[in-house]
Amino acid sequence: MATKKRGFTLIELLVVIAIIAVLIALLLPAVQQAREAARRSQCRNNLKQMGLALHNYLDVCGSFPPGVILQLTGATDGNWGWGSYILPYVDQGPLYNLLTVGNVTLNQAIADTSANGRLQAMQKVIPLFRCPSDTAPDLNTAHLINGVALATSNYVGSNASRSLRLNPGGPSSTGSIVASNGMFHANNCVRISEFQDGTSNTIAIGERAWELRGAPVKAAVVFGMQSNLEVAATNDRGLLQILGCGYVLMNSSTSTSGATDYQRNYSSRHVGGSHFLIADGSVRFISENTDHNIATAQCDSVMEALMGKDDGRVIGDY
């Protein structure tokens, strides 16, 4: 006599489906965390490679590269920034040679629209300049130069512990930071001897996101900036296209001053903080909760002291 084969009942099937759903729900966060850990590692490595490039530049030239060289002064004119000057030291020698950085202006390079010309080269993604956790488009459509979008960067050089400034200088008589006291500024190359706080206590480069919590931060541009301004009131041109400062708290998408001044600061899509390249070549992940006093113009907090190279403040652990 043939025996009947017993199948799953509806309840048993639903239980199995429920168990599988629970397992997937438990597994997905772990997978996402593993992916983010890999992205953070790649971001950290990008900055490490930039650190090696800066020190190779130092060995060859006797100083670190300039933040920007101001060749042109028009409102829409482009000027070459620090990202262009380190290209030969980040395995981008052919690109550097094609652009002939400094021998032609950034405007002239943008005007070269020939096949395989300069503009086409500047509109290709350079993975080293992109944080894999960020959501920015390949071209920075928020920060145009001479009306053209160039390759996006998620990394900005450290300009000042307060607001963006073209020129270096000391504090005012009351101790307020009124000039660039960071590593990068205009038409000037910083030497090791100028790091009175020590290179291990000074930020060189930090991250900047494309957007945070729906607010446009606009990231940065690889090759340079538009105009010769410190920053425009609309935050659409000037030093903020390639440099950062301590005017607003890290990872903030609001501002107590100008409505969009947070676009000048440091930020990332990593949870809890951002990666920073220190001037000695090391890379640190600094918490967004690190002491940072934006209520005064003095260099009187840990983050401000890290951005300044000669403030004389003892930093300690952070």
Token pair of 316, please?
């300690």
How many Å apart are CA 242 and CA 228, to the nearest integer?
12
pLDDT tens, 36-77? 889 999 999 999 999 999 999 999 999 999 999 999 999 999
Beta bridge partners of 211: 216
What helix, strand, coil percent values describe the chain, rounded to 5? 30, 20, 50
- pTM score: 0.90
Cα-Cα end-to-end distance for the chain: 80
pLDDT for 7 beyond 70: no
pLDDT digits (tens, 9 = 90+) for 107-149: 999 999 999 999 999 999 999 999 999 999 999 999 999 999 9
Assigned token pair, 261: 């001044």
pLDDT tens profile 241-270: 999 999 999 999 988 778 899 999 999 999
pLDDT of amino acid 2: 56
Q: pLDDT value at position 16?
A: 82
Residue keyed to tokens 């918490």: 287
Residue 296, Cβ density class (10 Å: 0-12 exposed, 13-18 middle, ≥19 buried)? middle
Tell me the pLDDT band of 1, cut-offs 50, 70 and 90. low
Please report the pLDDT score of residue 249 as a whole number.
Answer: 96
Q: What does the domain layout of the chain look like in residue ranges?
A: 38-307
| 173 has pLDDT over 70 | yes
Taking alpha carbons only, the member of 118, 135, 153, 127 closest to residue 224 is 153
pLDDT class of 238 with cuts at 50, 70, 90 = very high
Residue 239 one-letter amino acid: L
Distance between CA 131 and CA 75 in Å, rounded?
Answer: 29
- Mean of per-residue pLDDT scores for the chain: 93
